A and B are shown apart, each in its own frame.
Chain A
Amino acid sequence: MAVQLEHQPSSPEGRLDTEGLELQLLLEGVYRQYGFDFREYAPASLKRRVWRRVDAEKTGTITGLLDRLLRDPDVMERLLLDLSINVTSMFRDPTFYAALRTQVVPVLRTYPFTRIWVAGCSTGEEVYSLAIVLDEEDVRDRTRIYATDINEAVLERARAGVFPIDKMKEYTENYIRAGGRRSFSEYYLAKYEGALFERSLTENVVWAPHNLVQDRSFNTFNLIMCRNVMIYFDRTLQTRVHQLFYDSLERFGFLALGHKESIRFTGLEDRYEEIDGQEKLYRKAR
């Protein structure tokens, strides 16, 4: 007996409904097979990133991608890169690093030892930028930076400290605008296509996998930097991660967010003092 399919999607609109369902199934599959939970990511950017992988793997549909990755961990690894690499640059937002230098470092200097968490450090650009500031302010040797990311392959790249040579012009300009005190080229060795950053910069950095969505706090910190990472999360997840940060900060510890992020609507607004509204620098007050 022939079955009449009443809701066969033929229009682009029908395909869109199907696509929403496919995306949900993909995220559920990723979670149940591999344990990574992207179900509370903000949908628009997530969808773009998933489609980038669909196109690269030539699976045609999101369901095609799900089919592949359930059977092939290499495909999952590549999707994980797409979903977890947050593109940034050294000294992105130079004014932020200038504020860090003038408003945060003088406080850190009064402590015998400082712990800093760079959460969602991706390929490490911010970690190296931070290490350079600490170095120039003579506090690097009594600071430990915990640089974490969900993705171990990305951490490996960050640890290697090699960045594209063609970015050095932009980074140098950023560095100067951020109030750098030396010549930026002192920090790296140009080799082939890459700029290899000075090893001593990261001798006090602990690179470790950590999943902001699922893992708990692992220490307490005097400064937590998490810039342009939570923009990929939905509100519910953002609120949970903010609670994690609050619980992980020492009293009077600093929280640094991206320029277009804020602690509004997290329920923790009144727990922080705003140090610099423009630079999104906050301090745990209670």
Chain B
Amino acid sequence: MTDLVAIGASWGGLDAVRSILAMLPAELDAAVVVAQHRSPESHRTAFRDLLRSATRMQVREAADKDALRAGTVYIAPPDYHLLVDPESVSLSTDEPVQFARPSIDVLFESAAESHRERCAGVVLTGANADGARGLRRIAELGGTTIVQDPEEAVRAEMPRAALLAVPEARVLPTAGIAPLLVDLCGLARVPA
């Protein structure tokens, strides 16, 4: 069963991420980690607040060594890389990778290596090639790979690059991604 969902988005990502999270139930039996490219000067809590208002899942900007919990969404803070260790998230201020910090590749590679076949990677809209290499790694280690339909994406470059690297990835519109994630992760029993 999948218990970690890693989502990468760039240009046009806010709406895409929001529409997927809006369709995910609070009981989703997986932690969700999100790397969305955004400016270090962007408003501190705006992105988090927008997502919070859209979904019933818990949404937080990741702090160092936050324990991974099902039903919770962890957003990469601007100007940090977000990585996944077996039990927690981790942050780094290492150099940007292909001009990006957070880098989707960094997030996906660490998610693949810590969670292997229990990880699902989702590449959404964007105008660069970030995420392609990381999605390849998720595929190699037995995880599930999902790419937003480039026809639907605000910017098709990132989904197309991901599909070049991982031709076997599932291609879906955002409306189809959430139901697939629910199938993959299942629902946690509602606490009494």
Q: B-contacting residues of A (Cβ < 8 Å)?
A: 12-13, 16, 42-45, 47-49, 86-88, 228, 230-232, 234-235, 238, 258-262, 265
* Cβ contacts under 8 Å, B109 to chain A: 48
Q: Are A44 and B110 in contact (CB under 8 A)?
A: yes
Give the nearest-CB partner of A17 in chain B. B116
Q: Are B113 and A260 in contact (CB under 8 A)?
A: no
Size category of the B interface is: 20 to 34
Contact of A47 among B65, B77, B93, B113 (CB under 8 A): B113
- Chain B min CB distance to A170 (Å): 10
The verdict on A42 contacting B77 (CB below 8 Å), with A16-B116, A235-B65, A260-B64 known, is no
Q: Are A231 and B92 in contact (CB under 8 A)?
A: yes
- How far is A87 from B80 in the complex, measured between Cα atoms in Å? 11
- Chain A min CB distance to B89 (Å): 9
Q: Are B85 and A260 in contact (CB under 8 A)?
A: no
Q: Are B83 and A259 in contact (CB under 8 A)?
A: no
- How far is A235 from B63 in the complex, measured between Cα atoms in Å? 13
Q: B90 contacts the other chain (Cβ, under 8 Å)?
A: yes
Q: Are A13 and B116 in contact (CB under 8 A)?
A: yes
- How far is A57 from B65 in the complex, measured between Cα atoms in Å? 31
How many A-B pairs have beta carbons closer than 8 Å: the answer is: 71
Chain B binding surface, main DSSP class: mixed
Pick 21 A–B contacts, CB within 8 A, sort by A.
Answer: A12-B141, A13-B116, A16-B113, A42-B65, A42-B90, A43-B85, A43-B114, A44-B83, A44-B85, A45-B90, A45-B92, A45-B94, A48-B109, A49-B94, A228-B93, A231-B91, A231-B93, A234-B65, A238-B65, A258-B64, A259-B77
Q: Mark B73-113, 1 if CB is under 8 A from A, else 0.
A: 00001001101111010111111000000000010011001
- How far is A42 from B93 in the complex, measured between Cα atoms in Å? 14
Q: B183 contacts the other chain (Cβ, under 8 Å)?
A: no
* Cβ contacts under 8 Å, B95 to chain A: 87
* Cβ contacts under 8 Å, A44 to chain B: 83-85, 90, 110, 113-114
* Cβ contacts under 8 Å, A258 to chain B: 64
* Cβ contacts under 8 Å, B85 to chain A: 42-44, 234
- Chain B min CB distance to A1 (Å): 35
* Cβ contacts under 8 Å, A261 to chain B: 63-64
Q: Are B92 and A260 in contact (CB under 8 A)?
A: no
